[in-house]
Each structure stands twice: as C-alpha cells, then as structure tokens.
Chains A and B, each alone.
Chain A
Amino acid sequence: MNNLVREPILSLDDVSITYPGAPAPAVRGVTLDVAQGETLGLVGESGSGKSSLAAAIIGLLPDGSQIGGTVRFEGRDLAHMPARTLRALRGTEIATIAQDPFTALNPIMRIGRQLDEFQHWRGDLNRAERRARATDMLAQVGLSDPEVRMTQYPHQMSGGILQRIAIAAALLAEPKLLIADEPTTALDATTEAQILGIMADAKARVRGATVFITHDISVVERLCDRVAVLYAGELVESGTVAQVLEAPKHPYTQALLACDPARIGKPTRSLPTIPGTVPAPDNLPQGCVFAPRCPVAIECCETIRPKLESAGPGRRAACHLVNT
C-alpha cells in the first residue's frame, strides 16, 4: 500500500469546477491521487460536489463549465483535452457505471447488440467473438442464463439484473479507470448486497483503478482501499479506509460517521445530527467551510481557511485542530 512507488492512474491537482452561469465554483481546490490497483471511495452528502467531480473526470460536465487545475489520467490532462480524444478514452480506457440502470441502457435495443456495440473499438474481433466475450462476461457477473439475457430487452429485466449488465458492459472495456456513481442507491437491500459482491469481484479485474462515488459509508467500508471525504465542494479528509473510519480526524468525518444509524450499536431514539446546513457555494464562510457547524471550532477556524495537510502517514485532513 505504498503509493509513493506507484505512478498514479488518476491525479487531480487543485481542481475547481464552476457551472455555467453559477456565481461561484461548486468544487474548490481538490487535490488527490488514485494509484494503480487502488479503489477510492469518494464520499459526501448532497452539495458536497462528489458528482461534479466525477463528471469532470469523465468529461461530462455541461457545456460552458469551467474546470480549474488539472485532471490527469496517466499523465494526460483530461480537463483540457480535445473532445474527440476524450470520447475515444471513454468506453475504452475509462468506463463508468451509472446510478440508474434503467436509463443507462438503450430501451429499444437487445442487450446482446448493446454489449456488441460497446466493443466497437475491438477491431481485432469479429462479431461472433465479441458476442461470445459479452456472453462470457454476463456469466462472470453472476447471471444465470447469459444466452437468454443477450436476446432480451432492458424492460424485461429487474434493476438488479440490469445493474449487473451495466457492470459487465463496463468490464468489457477492460478499463484502466472504472468510475461507479452510486451504483447501488436505486436497488433493494438484498439486491444491493448481491451487486456489492459482484463489484468486489469486478474491481479485482479492472487493470487500473476504481473510483466509487457514494453517500453510503458502508459501501466504502466493503469495497474501498482509500476514502476521500468531500464537504461543501472541498476535500476535507483522505486516507485509507481503515484509518479514516476507525479514527476520523476531521470533525465533519467524525460527525458523519456518528450520524449513520447502522454504526450506532445500542438502539436509541435520539439520533445524532449535524446542526446547521451546508453553505451555498456563493455564500461560504470566511474561514473553514465546516466551522459554522463544527462542535469544536476555535477562533481561527472562523477566519482562516485550513489547508489540506498531512495528518499522519498516508492521510491528510483540512482542519486547524488536526494540523497544529
């Protein structure tokens, strides 16, 4: 787990994102690396900017959005790459799994044909070989009748099966970077457990790195090596999953973990909350973004914005109380 040795697959440096017409950036100064073979969990609540960050990585921000800083994929800057080159990367070296499997697949095309088309870049294979590859992949994600599934349409299947097909489609690309945006949020509890199991297998087969975007800490716990916690568009803490979940340093991470009813051992009628609301991007506090809601804020938190600094081996946090 020594990331100094390995060249990062994905490297974000001081990334900020401003939506067209927005008065202020939705994401500010995010710096993080994802190393070869690593699975990163990008965690945050609504308004944290996690989805914006994912959209920036795969180049799917709305037209006119401004990306500051650099987003490097194997050394190439994705943020300032010609649209054509980026399109060629998507679906081959970078693959994504979307939140809603019902809209991710074309409703009027058979699964087999869609999986065939996802492999259009494999000029070395003929159609039969590509279909065989797809059928094989469907079996690998645990579908019982892969041949039958190939001839079916999306509406004939449940969300859990469709999400498996979406995972298979992503894996067919043999991506160096797999981005999964809340892949289990739309699913039922038992289906979610099945899909997480398959995701765990799948990420082992990804040649490069996997980024998981989620609001669910238990997903991070099951699948990720490292975690980055976002709050109000800023990266507040990062480190290995074991480190961060066991001994969170940033008060926001601490509060977020405390709020999760699944992590509270003894049943209680008085659940912990985080008082206050997430500040709007154009109405940020002067100092630390979390200071107004922070239970341990001191005077300098109100005025000076903390930098993301080393908080022990392999982990970083943006908090005055951690760094001093």
Chain B
Amino acid sequence: MSRLIVGPFNRVEGDLEVRLDISAGMVADARVVSPLYRGFEAMLVGKPALDALVYAPRICGICSVSQSLAAARALAATGSVPVPANGGLAVNLIHAVENVADHLTHFYLFFMPDFARAVYAGEPWHADAAARFAAVKGTAAQDFLPARAELMNLLGILAGKWPHTLAIQPGGSTRAVSRAELARLGALLAGFRRFLERVLFADALEAVAALSTRDALLAWAEAARGDFACFVLLSQATGLNRLGRTDLRHMSFGAYPSSDGPLFPRGLFRRGVGGVLPVDRITEDVSHAWYQAAPDGAPRPPRDPGMPPDATRDDAYSWCKAPRLEGEVAEVGALSRQLVAGHPLPRDLVARDGATVEARVVARLLEVALVTMAMERWLRAIDAAAPFIDHTPLPAAGEGAGLTEAARGSLGHWVAIQGGRIANYQIIAPTTWNFSPATPPVRPGRWNRRCAAPRCETGRPSRWRYSTSSALSTRAWSARCIDGGASHPRAGPCAGGGLPAPCLAPGAGAGHRRQRRQRWRGRGHPRLGEAATLDGFQNRLGEGAPPLARIDTIEVWPHDGPAPQGFTIAASAAGTVRTGIVPDAATCPACRAELFDPADRRQGYAFGNCTHCGPRLSIVRAIPYDRANTAMAAFPMCPDCAAEYANPADRRFHAQPTACPACGPRLWLEPAPDAGTDPLDAAAALLRAGGIVAVKGIGGFHLACDATDTTAVTELRRRKARDAKPFALMARSVDEVGRYCQLDDAASTLLRSPAAPIVLLPRRPDGPPLPDGLAPDQDHLGFMLPYTPLHHLLLARLEGPLVMTSGNRSDEPQVITNEDARDRLAGLADAWLMHDRAILNRLDDSVVATTSGAPVVLRRARGYAPAPLPLPAGFDGLPPPWPWAGN
C-alpha cells in the first residue's frame, strides 16, 4: 500500500487535494481534501439581517448570484415578502446568465483543455483538439471569452455588475428596466444565441433541446460541426461514458420559479424513479471534517448553529462538512437537475451507462440551450410599467431557508434573525455535497466514490477527469446534522378510498357474519366461516369493489371467542400507520346525474360526492382517513346524510366527505353580486363579459376566463406576467374537446378517467379558431374535463371552454386558502368564486400526454398522488422510503 497525494488541482474554482491509497496498482481508498477554511457562517452572526446580501455573494465568485439569491430567499422566508412578477423574471434572468456563463466557463476553460494535454499526443484527434482547446492558447478560448463578456453585458443592465451585485433583494430586483433597455437586452441575448448556434452547437438551440436519446445524440454529433459535437466524439474516443460512474440519489432544489412552477422542479431521482425531496432531512456530518463534534455526536440540521472549527482533530481531513440527505450521499449538479426535471436525453444516458463524466457534461450543455430559450421567454414577459420590487420589511425575528440551484448544484442558506440581527447562518453549497469527506458508517462523498474504482495510472495522475465542477471557495461550513434513520417501512396498503358496501355485498349474500375493522394498519376483513367458504369470500372480496377501492393486502387470522353478530365497521384502532390516502377523483356519472336531476336533493349543489368520487388527499389532515381527520370535520352530517353514510347498500356508505345543501359547504362570489343572484350565474356572466374569475377547486385556486375571448386571454396573460407557457383548458365534454383537438380512444379514456388530468392533445387544423395567446407556437392544447360538481355547474352555464390556469403569483405556489386568494390574487382576478371547505393539501392539476396510445404522466399530482409508484427491481430492502406526494 502506498499513498499518493495529488494537488494542487488545476482548473477548479478554489483549492483541492486528493489522497489516494494505492494497492497493487489499484486505488484502494480515495480522500478528497478541501484545504481552505474561510469562516463565513461565523462572520455573519450579529450582522444586521440585510447585510447578508453584501457578504453572501462574496462566498463564491463563480456562483455569486446564486449565493445572493439563496440569501435573499432565506431572508424573505423569515417573514412574508411578496415578489412582483417583474422581480421574479429579472432575478431569473440574472441567475440564468450566471449559470449559463458558469457552464460554458467550465466547458471551455476548465474541462476541454484536458484533451489538449500531451498525454493524448498519440491519439489521431489530438492535434485538432489541442489547436482548438489548449488552455489560454487554443482558438476556442478566443471565441468564447468575448461571447461570455457580451453575455455578461446583460448583467451590466440588469444587475449593475457581476460578480457581487446587490440588485437581488428579498422583494425582487432594485433595477427596473425600461422598454428601450428590454429591447437592448433582447439584442444582446440574440447575439449570444448566435454564438451558441454558430460555435458551440452549430445547430438551432431547439434541435439540441429536442435530442432525446444517446443514439440520437451520437447521430447528431456525427453530422454537426460545433464544439459540443466535438466533445461527444472525443467522449466516445476516450470512453467518458465509462468514467466517474455513480449510482446515487440525484437531488435538485429546483430553479427559476415562475407563476406556473419552476423551469426545473425540486425533487429526487434514482434508477428511473422520481421522488419528493424531504428538505428537512438534510443534515451535516463532521465525522471527518475539522470541526468540533456536536455534544451528542450526531449530525446536525442546518437550522441549528454549526460547531466551531477544530484543526487539531486527527480523524479529520477536510474543511468540507459532509451534507447528507436522510443520512445518505446525494449527487447534485446539472445532470441531477435534468434527471429530476425529466429531460429524456440525460435520463437515457443514465439508464444506459449510469451517471458518468459524459452524462454530466452533456447535461450542462443541454441546460445551456434550455435556459437560453427560457431567458428569451422571461425577457418577453417583463412589463416595463409594472414594479420590480416589493418593499415589505423583514420581521425583527424569524427563521427562513433559501434554496436554489447554482450551476454546479443545490445551494441552501438557512438563517435565523433575532432583534433584526443574524443569530444563525448556515450554508450548504453544491461542492460540499459532491466533495464531502466520509461519514460513518463509511460512506464516502460522491467524488470519493468516483475515484475509488478506476485503475491508478501512477505518474499520469493528470489524466483524471472531474466533470464535477467544484466551487471550493464556498466552504467554511459548520457542523450540523440530523439523524437519518428511517421511520416508515414502505408498507403497500393504501386503502381508505372506501371499501364499503358493494365489496361486502357478496359476503352478505353468502350468509356470513363479518366484521370489518378499520385499523391504523389498513383495513382488514376478519371473518368467520368454514375454510372453503371463506376462501371463496376472500376471492370475491375485490370483485364488486368500487372504482376507487384498492385492496393491497388481506390479512387473515383466527378468531377466538364468540362469533360477532351482524356486519359492522369497527372504529379505527390506534397502532402503527400503514395505510395511505387515495387520490382525489372526478365527479362520477351517478353524482353528475344527481346534479342535474330536478328531483334530487343535491340538484345544483356544488359539493356532492360519494365513495366513487370527490375530494380525498386534498382534504386530509391525518390518517386514518376518517371524516374527523379531514376538512369535512367542520360540517356535521344532517340526518339524511348520516342515514346514507350508515347504510351499506347506499353509494355513500362511509363516504367520508359526503355532503348536501343542508349540511355541507356553501358557495359564494366575492365581490357579492346583487342580492338573490346565484353566485354561479353571476360568475358565468362575468366570464362571458371577458372577466377573470378565481375559482376554488379541489387542490387549489384556478384563474378562469373565456378561452374563446382573445381580449380576456391576453389580459390574463398580462396580469399573470406569464410567458409563452400554454394555458390549461376545461371543456364541458369529450365531444367539445373533439371540436378543437384530435382525439383517439386512449385520450378520451384518459380525459374521462377519475384522475381527470390535463391531457395534451394535437390541435385539429380544421377546428374552430382559438386565441393565439392560449398556447403560443404550440401545436398541442391541454384539455381537461370538469372534475367537481362546481366545474360542471359553471361549464353548463357557458357556451365554450374555459381557461383554467393555476391561481398564483410568480414565485409562489398555487393559492389554497380564501385569505391568500383575496390577498395574493388581488389584481389578477376580477371576482372570487369561493367556498368554505378548506383545502389542506395543495394539488396541481396533473398533466398527461399520450404517445402511441400509452399515457405518459408529465406532472403527477391531483388524481394520481398519493397512489404509490412501484419501485423497480433492486430497491428491495432499501431502508428509508421517500415520502410521495403531489409534485
């Protein structure tokens, strides 16, 4: 065994050392050392809160804006500081310029020069690569640096300067831009696009963004002539798709928020499966970092103050703390971001080869194309006449987290303020995720893993490739932690959708005495009888089950004592929770029929439902799924409803959210219409007149307007400051959808399914004309059908489809409470159609596309969440499950 110490490393942003233990020519152990400590977190304590905006960007010169943004968001989160639409757009643009410049700086100045090294002199491609990419002297640097400088000119206008701007504030951007400046910014951006399309890609950005498989990428690279194609070919020649392979959870905090969600979402991804990121399960470990151990020895969450440095520890070797997610290493960066976002190209690369050097570089450059196109849209969405900043003051005390994505990966700042001054400030930078020291039990950081496999070429250590870029000036963290233990075994049972009378009816016919008991372990069906009959009963249990029922397991155990009499549903018993909640479901045909039946007591009532349909996850406060644990607890059942609820033969037997006009939620319009006017009639009249109405739905508020009214659509787009992203549409029937779009059976079935998602459908060329502003430059429209009685009643009063877009402002999630709707949708809506059934879980509309008849869920939320996704093979025995929810 011998030890090789490699360093200083070139072309990183900061200082880095690698220690290798070598045995029989192979690397036996690798340690990545960050040898510099700067102490930012301690520095910030005691400073006036807003001074963080001065210090934070100076943590890192290459991701200065990301640091500003994380600080501004953390400060804003200590209170409630709204960001006007322009502020969000301007900050996105500033952030995007930095991130795109970082990707290209990494590519042209840090990464590609390695191909020019003498060690490759024998390769047939070396002479060309050296002429193009040699450090400082190659022609690529001469092309790139002026293009980078001109891109940075956007920041001269938008941010005063780069790096280290103070333009980014909790309430938006200090720098309002005029229409003339918007035009100039557009021209600068066009110049940058031209550089990308002539030099880097030698093809349209759209063509790069559309590459979806490794095969397509290779075919494209054979034909293209730009520097990216050159990389792809060199990567094949040098096998970069086999180097630096990891198999970790990929993590993204999400980036570039807008009124209709972030450009890149927050989440996790591993082995083909996405998941929700439990941010509160991030901790920092100092087992092998030069910090004092916490008194309890445990890793600490970043909300807690860090421990002071301790350079005397013999068991430590780095100034990087080790951030962990649920106790595990996670990978961050452009590849992780694009895997989480679901772009097909990186997903295909990783499915074939794992996360490799090649995949990481491809993801960076793919992101250059995607983000540049998004910048063009954001620029167009800025309204020079509207405000760029909100001046709501910060509270004197509070805590907040600011999460964003630097080019190199997830960045988080956690702040606590007391008396207007910073009481605690903790930073977890991307580099610490990727370059962290080991934590017990030996769980090396990502880079350690990357190093430990390949054969060591002693004497030629410089052939290493690290596509992980590091921003090492960002270290200086403190100790924090969490215990990463798993708590919920991933039990399958996910009942609660009502396994009521119908599925029990067969048993009743067979003359059995049954007892049904709801337990926190799920709903079991203990029963009494002879073995053969009982088997038959068991087999038939699922046959008559209602649409929403799902039996995951049936537990059978012997019964002692006297046989119970009759059929009862026992009260839920306390125990370990193993059930889940079923998704919300669209109004079923029976309930819809009642809605328009003049003889029915629920005719015209906006909140009817039964065991086949209605709100579920959106109204659940706790499990087990009983009315007392839902938003319906506020509405005691009237005798009629209670009778239906108790009758096993009724469609509403144990329908937890059941309601009627006598006892259930009520509907109203604000501002109130003339006395005596039905709120739905008034809302319909407003919509017909071109108004915009906020409509409270199942999982949040929508903003609705007449989809056939060009003026209304344009106005809605202006008020939301929404760029070119298409609006979702709601039509009263499949037939009406068919007037505008081409429909096949698969699409019709999807539209009618209980999930009632937004289905992306190709427009009919011969369809009736619709405003261009609905879905600019799109040949598809996103349609859904009414999925609540309220929607049915509203659509029935109108002649055509409605725009139903999420009710929110830029940078904010969809509004779910009435108070927030009044407050945050002021200026966006002309009226509010509201009700008093609380939405407890926010759920966006799900979005589904069909390809060759097969549905592909693009956004898995209302109607799908929280139904479990099966884990692929290889995940058996995975200890900590990831909580699933609408995302």
Whether A and B are associated in the same complex: the answer reads no
Query: Could you list which residues of chain A lie within 8 angstroms of chain B, going by C-beta atoms?
Result: none
